[in-house]
Structure 1
C-alpha cells in the first residue's frame, strides 16, 4: 500500500547496496512533491478558516479603528488654523493628516477625505495613485516578463493576482507551443546537424515520457474498467477508482497513478524497487515538471493570500504563522482602538493637542505599519 503521505519511494533492498543516482532523484522528487502537496492542502484548509476569523473578529475592530482615525483627520483639519499652533505644530499636523488620510483612502473607502488630503499635501491623491499604479505595473511586467494590459487595477489584489496567473499560464503555454512548433521564420532557417540531432533527441524523450505515463494508465484502466465488472458494489468501487485514474492521467500526475497501482495491489514495493534506469529517467522528467507546476500553484496561492490580507510580499509565511500573526494583530488593534478612542476625546482640546505635538517626531513609517503614529496618543 502507498504510505499515508502518498510518498512513493524506492527502498534499498540490501544493507550493502546503495541506490543509483536516478533512484535517489526519484525519491527526492517524490518526497518534495509529497511536501508540496501537504503545503498546498494546508493553505487550502487554512484560507477559509482564516477568512472566517478575519471577518468575524479582526474586521469589526479594524472598522472601529479606522472610524476613530477618520475622526482624528477631521479634528486635526478643523484645529489646524487655530492660533495656538506654531509653524512647526502645523507641519506636524499636516504630516499626520496626510499620512492618515492616504492610509484610509488606500483601503478604497472614505472618499470624503480626498479633499482634505489634497489641500494639506499640495498634491492630488488620484494622480498620485495612478502614477503608483503604473510604476508597480511596470515593475511587475519587468519581473514576470508579461504584459498586464491597461485595464489592470493594482488596488484590487484578487483581480491583480488572477490576471498575473492567467498571463503567466498563457506565456508558459505559448512557450511550450513555440518549442514544439517553431515559428515559420525560425524553422525555415537551415539547422546544423548538431541542432537537428538535439531537437530529434528532445522530441524522442518527450514521446517516451508520454508513453511511460500512458502505459501506467492503460494497465490501471484495464484492471479497473467498471463496464467489465458484473457485481454492482464492485462496479461502484471501480467507477470511483477509475475517476481518480482519469483525473491523475489528465493532470499528468505520475505519482498518483503509481499510488493507485500500489493501492489496488497491481504492483508492489518490489516492482517500484526494480523500475529500470531508462524508465526512471522518463519518470524523473515527469516528476520535475509536476513539482514545478505544484510550486507555481503554491506561489500563486500564497501571493494571493498575502495581497488579499495585506501581508508583506516577502518573508517566511506558513498557514500556522498566519494564524499566529492574526491573533497578535487582533490583540494589538483592540489595544490601539481603545487608545484612539481616548485620544479623540482628549485632543478635542487644542492645548492637549499642542502638548502632544511637542513630543511628536515626524518619521518615515514602515510600508506595512498598521498605526501611522510613532507612539500612542
Structure 2
C-alpha cells in the first residue's frame, strides 16, 4: 500500500476551519465521523471473540455453579423449615427466603424437585387476587371512550365483561384502521398540484446527480483497473483484487472508500481533493451522509446482537471496555455468591448459629 493510503481524505487539511467553505467543513466532518464509526466497528469485531472466550470459559461455569449452590441452599432451608427447633416466626422467615431464591431458579434450573418446594412455601396470603370491580371499570371506560362504548357491555361476570370489552376494543381498532386506509386511498387518488410535481422533479433530479457523482468516481477507477487490459499476470492479479474492492464499495455506495482508493492508487492528490467544486461537493456530502447513517445502523445491529447473545452490558452499549467491566462484575458477583452460600450451609449445621443467622437476616431486612 502506498503512502497516500494512510492519509485521510480531508479537504485543505493545512487550512484553518474559518478558511474553508461550509460545504468543505461539512465534508471533513462527515469523513471524521465515518472514520470514527469504522473504528468502533473494528473494535467490536476484534473484541467479541475475546469476550466470547471469557464468557464461555469463566462466566458460564460460574453461573451454573452459583445456581447449583442456590438450589442446594433451597433444599437445606426446606429441611430446616420442618425442624421443630424453629418457631413460627423463624419458619415464616425461612419460607420467605426460599421464595426469594426460587424467583431466579424456577424455569432456569433443571432440578425437578424444586417445584414441590416452591408449592410448599407459596405465599397464599399475597396470592389472592383482588376482586374485580365491574362498575368502576365500566365508568372508567365510559370516561375514556364515551357512553356508547359501554352500552350493552355484559356485566354478569368479570370474565364476560373483559371478553365483551376486548371485542369492543377490536371493533374500534378495525374501524380506525379502515378509516386510515380510506384516507390514504383518497390521498393517492388526489391529483398532485404543479408545486408538488415540481418538488418531486427537483428531488428526482438531485438524486440522479448524486448517483452520477458516485458513478463518475467509480468509472475512473474501473477504467484504470480493468484487469482484462493488463498483459502482465502479476499486475492483472493485483488489479483484479483492487477491482473487487472498487465494485464492493460502489455497490454499497461507499464514496469515501472509492476516494481513498483513488488516493491509494495516486489517481488523485490533495490538490484535486481541495479543488472539488461546491456543486460536486454537495453531491458527495449527500452520499457520505447516507454512508454515515448506514454505519450507525450497523453499529446499532452489532449492539443488539451482542446484548441478545450475552446480556452485557446492562446499561447503554458504549464501548467494549464497558461490556468487559460488566462481565468482570458479574463474574465477581457469582463467585462471591458461591462462597457466601458455602459459608451459610456450614452455619446451618449448628441450630444455635442458624437461629442467630436468621435473626441477623431479619434485622437487616427490617432496617
| TM-score category (smaller protein) | 0.7 to 0.9
Q: CA 1:329–1:314 in 2, change beyond 3 Å: closer, same or farther?
A: closer
> How big is the shift at 1:38?
0.7
Contact 2:5 2:264 in 1 (8 A): no
Corresponding position of 2:212: 211
In the alignment, which residue of structure 2 is the partner of 1:147?
none
State the alpha-carbon separation in 1 of the partners of residues 317 and 258 from structure 2. Answer: 33
Q: Which residue of 1 aligns with 2:335?
A: 334
Per the TM alignment, residue 96 of structure 1 is displaced from its structure 2 partner at its CA by 2.5
Q: 1:15 to 1:334 in 2, by over 3 A?
A: closer
How far apart are residue 196 of structure 1 and its match? 1.9
Partners of 2:355 and 2:321 lie apart in 1 by: 44
The change in CA–CA distance for 1:7 and 1:352 in structure 2 (over 3 A counts) is farther
Q: What's the secondary structure of 2:104's corresponding residue? A: helix
Residue aligned with 1:248, SS: helix
CA distance in 2, matches of 1:330, 1:313: 14
| C-alpha deviation, 1:304, in angstroms | 2.3
Matched, 1:296 2:297: yes
Output the CA distance in 2 between the equivalents of 1:277 and 1:363: 70
What TM-score, normalized to structure 1?
0.72
**Do the aligned partners of residues 108 and 338 (structure 1) sit closer, same or farther apart at CA in structure 2, a change above 3 Å counting?**
closer
The runs of 5 or more residues in structure 1 that have no matched partner are: 124-182, 365-373
CA deviation after TM superposition for structure 1 residue 33, in Å: 0.8
The total of aligned residue pairs comes to: 305
The 1:107/1:276 distance shift into structure 2, 3 A limit, reads farther
Question: Aligned equivalents of 1:67 and 1:186: distance in 2?
Answer: 63
> Is it true that 1:318 corresponds to 2:319 in the alignment?
yes
Deviations 1:239-293, CA, capped at 9 Å, x for gaps: 1101111111111111111111111111111111111111111111111111111
Specify the alignment match of 1:276 in structure 2. Answer: 277
Q: Does 1:253 align with 2:258?
A: no
Alignment of 1:1-377 (within 5 A): 1-2=3-4, 4=6, 7-12=8-13, 18-105=19-106, 107=108, 109-110=110-111, 112-121=113-122, 186-311=187-312, 313-315=314-316, 317-361=318-362
**Residues of 1 paired with 2:250 and 2:17: CA distance?**
37
2:324 partner SS: helix
Offset, 1:358: 1.5
* TM-score for both structures, normalised by structure 2: 0.74
Task: Tell which deviates more after alignment, 103-112 or 214-223.
Answer: 103-112
SS at match of 1:39: helix
| Larger deviation, residues 43-52 vs 114-123 | 114-123
User: What runs of 5+ residues in structure 2 fail to find an aligned partner?
Assistant: 125-183
Query: Relative to structure 1, is the Cα distance of residues 99 and 2 closer, same or farther in structure 2, using a 3 angstrom cutoff?
Result: farther
Q: CA RMSD in A?
A: 2.8
- Computing the radius of gyration from Cα coordinates, the structure with the larger value is 2
